[in-house]
Every structure is written in C-alpha cells, then in structure tokens.
C-alpha cells in the first residue's frame, strides 16, 4: 500500500475510495512550491487539480512517485514530458465534466432565448416588464455547433429534442459521423451565415484563438445569439460587444473569458448578454465524478494494472527498432492534419522495411496522437487516440511490407487526397520528410512549416522568399519537388517563426501559386 499526497480539495468519495483500498491519504492543501518539493518525498501518488504545478523539480524530488493524477481534463500544470522520462504515469479524468458542461451550454442557450436573467433582475427590482423581455422559441431555429467533440455531441442530442435544425463546423469529424448524429457539416462562414444560435465547443490553441472575431461576426446571420462554454478568447469579446451594439448580433451567453478571473468586460454593460463565472464544471456530480475517477486511476496505477485514462506511456516494452520512430510517426500525423485542414474519412498507414515485423501498433497510435493534436479539447494520449478516431468516424487501415525500395525503413500516410512519408536518416537517425503529396522532397520536420504548390516555372522560389522576407520570417530549410508531369512543383519550407496571416494571404494571391498550407510539428 502506498502514500497518496493530495494537494487540492478533492470530493470526499474519491478520498474515501483510496483509503478503502488501503492507501494512506495525506491531504496537504495550499502548499507553496517549496513545500510541495518537501511533501512529495516518499509519496507514491500525487493527486492535484488545476492550481498545483507539477514541475520537473517536483518530479525529481518524488523519487518514489508512480503516478500523478489530475482531477479534471487539462494538464497544462503538469510537465508530462519530464514525468514520462522518469517513468511516472500521468492520468486525468477526461469525462468527468462533459455532461455538466453540455448542460451549462443548454442553460445559457435557454437563458438567451427567453431573457430569463434580465427578466428576473427587473422583477426583483420592482419592474413588471413582460413586453420588454419577449423571447423566441428554440423549435425550428438553426443551431450552429462549432466543435462536435464530446461536449458538442451532447449539446446536439439535447438540441434535437427541442426540434432545432443542427449544423456544425468541425474538420475533425467525418461527414458520415455527423449525419448519424443528425448534424449537417459545413464551413464556419456558412454556419455563421445560417445559424440563429451558435454554441462553441473547441479547444483553445493558436488556430482557434480569436476564431470568431470581427470578420466572422460580420458574416453572421442578423440577430445571431452566441454561446461560449469552451474557453475564453475563442470568441473575441471586444468584437462581439461591437457587433451587439451595432445590432448584427442579438446577444450572447458566456461562461468563459479571455482573462480569468475577471469582473471587467465590454460585454458586462450590455443588457442582452448573460454571463457566468466559468461554472461549466461546477456541479456536485462533476466534482464527485472527477474525484472518484481519479481515485480509481490512482488505485489501478499503484496496483500495476491497466490504467484507461493514462495520458503518457512507458515505452520500455517497445522494441528498439520501433522506439526511435515514435516521434516521427506523431510528426507525420500532425503534417497530414495540416495538409488536410482537419481529418480525412480514411487514414492509410503503410510501414516498409525492418519496421514491418517489429510491432508497429505503438507507431499507429503515435500517428493518431499527431493527427488529433489540435482538434480536441482533451489531451490526446496513446490510450484515448483510438477512441477519438472511432468517435469521429475515422477508418484506419494499416499495411506492412518488409520490402523497402529507397529506404531501409519508411512510414507513409495517405488520407483525404494528401500523403506524407518520412524516415530516419544519417548516423544520428534524424527525422526526414521524403515525400509530400507524391512529390519527392527531403527536409527535416520543424515546428513551423509551410507547403506551397505552384507552377513549375522560373522565379517562384523568389516570389515565396520575398514575401516571407518582407514579413520578417527567415527560411531555415527548404526542399522543392517537381511533379512527374513537370507542370507543377511543391515547395516545403521550415521557417523561423509562424507566418503572419497577411503574408499567407499574399502567398495565396500570388500568380502561379495554387495552394498554401501551414503545418506544425
């Protein structure tokens, strides 16, 4: 039996469960970073929420640590890489609050439709204002769901019961999966133009930050009402306030804000806006679920059993042939997602060479991790990646052959009309991209990359280089691959920084350039 250090308030059923399993539950709340380093010594498990930072220093001090459990979804406060290096399992409770979050979205949706908070405030202030707070029915209205993951799917189920027409934007969900849910997939611009209500359920990252801003709001259907229970910053609060003042948007219901905690926002002064202080997961049931789930995971980890919500993996049992290719496989998945701008309906993974007979299951999981990295609100792990693929209707096909023509080992991905292949090269086994969209290239993967498809004519490299140079972006490496016919070429560039949107627009508008995609690895 082990000692479990709990540094934040956990629901009592979770504490009781670990104690009943025979573990010593040591609750020490509000520890300073220095006190945490001292308290972690001798602990076999650490249970936290969002306030405790599990740094490399903390992990180094916890020499007896087997598992770190986060009673919730996000893992921004845990150094997962350092934990993996030390063989410490990291687990979370990814499904503990999804029902509560979905119900919060529905509560704000109804509050917006019927002006309930405003009418309540007026009545208790001594004003009987029936005509002023006239609302609208949900029945027959179009609900645009931005992000059709677990929470978005639950909202869709509930909105169908109100007789709403459902449309959605989510590049990581297949059309067949959406159709099965009674949802029509479309572009974000089309969704904004057709929806009476829009509810946001996306992860917050570089791609989604400010996604619904002034330009997108200007394209919206007049009278739109917006609900956001996902993350603050996805909806530009200032732009939303201006759109409401201008009459383009009727109102909004917000549970999250760009800065939290906050008591100031341009939206707070607008009578058609309903707000809450991030209460999406603040239900008794969600807190109990998180505590019980994380207690169950900790108990399994300390017993050495299979842990279903582990977000990292101990690769000690992976063959020495396969292990070096895990990072490359994840990078290839990210690149394919960038080329596809989402998720293909079918993913084909081909292994050639010595890899083919060495147990490639972990590599396929690595590919899925990369593919879903930017498309889900919860951390993507080796454990939940197959479940995410099934939920989003992705069909995965694997083939292997011990024969490799040009390379000792090769991993090739195909899906949605795009393809990418990579291998390890040189005495230090460094990753190399060797094919993109059936164009032969050779370039190392990099954090910031851009793929340009252009006419195979003189001067095109100069056009691209000039635009990037004017934007203050340096080219770190570059490869050019002509097509078999010689009519088009593909440029793959690694850049010193993310390319600004203005520069990307210039590239796409340049004569002779037919396609531009940014990818991150």
Q: Do residues 447 and 403 make contact, with C-beta atoms less than 8 angstroms apart?
A: no
Count of other CB atoms within 10 angstroms of residue 139: 9
List the catalytic residue out of 20, 38, 260, 269. Answer: 260
Q: How many Å apart are CA 67 and CA 87, to the nearest integer?
A: 9
Q: Do residues 133 and 115 make contact, with C-beta atoms less than 8 angstroms apart?
A: yes
139 catalytic? Reply is no
Q: How many Å apart are CA 148 and CA 152, to the nearest integer?
A: 4
231 catalytic? Reply is yes
Residue 31, judged by CB atoms within 10 A of its CB (0-12, 13-18, 19+), counts as: middle
30 catalytic? Reply is no
Sign of CA dihedral 253, 259, 261, 267: negative
Q: How many Å apart are CA 246 and CA 266, to the nearest integer?
A: 14
Count of other CB atoms within 10 angstroms of residue 301: 24
For residue 393, the 8-state DSSP code is: T
**Contact partners, residue 492, CB within 8 Å, separation at least 6:** 433, 436, 441, 443, 449, 450, 451, 452, 478, 479, 480, 481
List the catalytic residue out of 225, 278, 414, 517. Answer: 278
Instruction: Give CA separation, 282 vs 99, 100, 132, 277, 287, in Å.
Output: 11, 8, 31, 10, 7
Q: Do residues 100 and 281 make contact, with C-beta atoms less than 8 angstroms apart?
A: yes
List the catalytic residue out of 49, 150, 231, 432. Answer: 231
Strand 418-425 relative to strand 409-415, pairing: antiparallel
Q: Would you give the distance in Å from CA 199 to the centre of its chain? A: 17
String of b and e for 373-405 (b: at least 16 CB within 10 Å)? bbbbbbbbbbbbbeebbebbbbebeeeeeeebe
Q: Would you give the distance in Å from CA 106 to the centre of its chain? A: 22
Q: Do residues 23 and 66 make contact, with C-beta atoms less than 8 angstroms apart?
A: no
Strand 165-169 relative to strand 45-48, pairing: unpaired
Give bridge partners of residue 197 from the DSSP assignment: 143, 225
Catalytic annotation, residues: 231, 260, 278
């Amino acid at each position: 039996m082990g000692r479990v250090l709990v540094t934040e308030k956990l629901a009592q059923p979770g504490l009781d469960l670990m104690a009943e399993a025979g573990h010593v539950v040591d609750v020490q709340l509000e520890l300073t970073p220095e006190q945490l380093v001292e308290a972690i010594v001798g602990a076999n498990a650490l249970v936290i929420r969002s306030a405790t930072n599990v740094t490399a220093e903390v992990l180094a001090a916890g020499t007896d640590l087997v598992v770190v459990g986060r009673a919730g979804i996000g893992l921004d406060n845990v150094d997962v890489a350092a934990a993996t290096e030390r063989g410490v399992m990291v687990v979370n409770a990814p499904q503990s609050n999804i029902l509560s979050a979905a119900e919060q979205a529905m509560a704000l949706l109804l509050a917006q439709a019927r002006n309930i908070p405003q009418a309540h405030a007026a009545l208790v202030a001594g004003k009987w204002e029936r005509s002023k707070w006239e609302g609208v029915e949900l029945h027959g209205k179009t609900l645009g769901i931005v992000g059709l993951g677990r929470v978005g799917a639950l909202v869709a189920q509930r909105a169908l019961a109100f007789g709403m027409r459902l449309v959605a934007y989510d590049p990581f969900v297949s059309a067949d999966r959406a159709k099965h849910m009674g949802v029509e997939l479309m572009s974000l611009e089309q969704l904004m133009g057709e929806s009476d209500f829009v509810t946001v359920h996306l992860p917050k990252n570089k791609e989604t930050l400010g996604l619904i801003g002034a330009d997108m709001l200007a394209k919206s259907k007049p009278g739109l009402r917006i609900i956001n229970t996902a993350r603050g910053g996805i909806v530009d609060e200032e732009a939303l306030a201006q759109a409401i003042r201008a009459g383009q948007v009727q109102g909004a219901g917000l549970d999250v804000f760009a800065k939290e905690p906050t008591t100031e926002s341009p939206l707070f002064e607008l009578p058609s806006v309903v707000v809450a202080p991030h209460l999406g997961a603040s239900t008794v049931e969600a807190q109990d679920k998180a505590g019980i789930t994380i207690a169950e995971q900790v108990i399994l980890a300390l017993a050495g059993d299979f842990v279903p919500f582990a977000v990292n993996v101990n690769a000690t049992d992976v063959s020495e042939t396969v292990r070096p290719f895990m990072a490359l496989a994840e990078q290839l998945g990210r690149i394919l997602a960038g080329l596809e701008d989402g998720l293909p309906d079918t993913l084909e993974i081909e292994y050639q060479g010595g890899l083919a007979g060495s147990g490639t299951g972990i590599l396929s999981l690595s590919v899925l991790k990369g593919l879903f990295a930017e498309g889900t609100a919860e951390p993507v792990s080796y454990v939940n990646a197959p479940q995410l693929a099934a939920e989003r209707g992705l069909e995965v096909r694997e083939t292997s052959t011990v024969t490799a023509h040009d390379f000792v080992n090769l991993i090739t991905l195909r899906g949605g009309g795009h393809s990418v292949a990579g291998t390890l090269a040189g005495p230090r086994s460094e990753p190399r991209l060797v094919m993109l969209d059936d164009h032969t290239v050779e370039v190392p993967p990099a954090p910031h990359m851009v793929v340009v498809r252009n006419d195979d004519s003189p001067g095109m490299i100069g056009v691209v280089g000039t635009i990037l140079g004017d934007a203050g972006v340096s080219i770190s490496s570059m490869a050019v691959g002509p097509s078999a016919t010689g009519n088009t070429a593909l440029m793959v560039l690694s850049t010193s920084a993310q390319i600004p949107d203005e520069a990307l627009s210039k590239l796409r508008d340049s004569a002779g350039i037919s396609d531009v995609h940014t990818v991150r690895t």
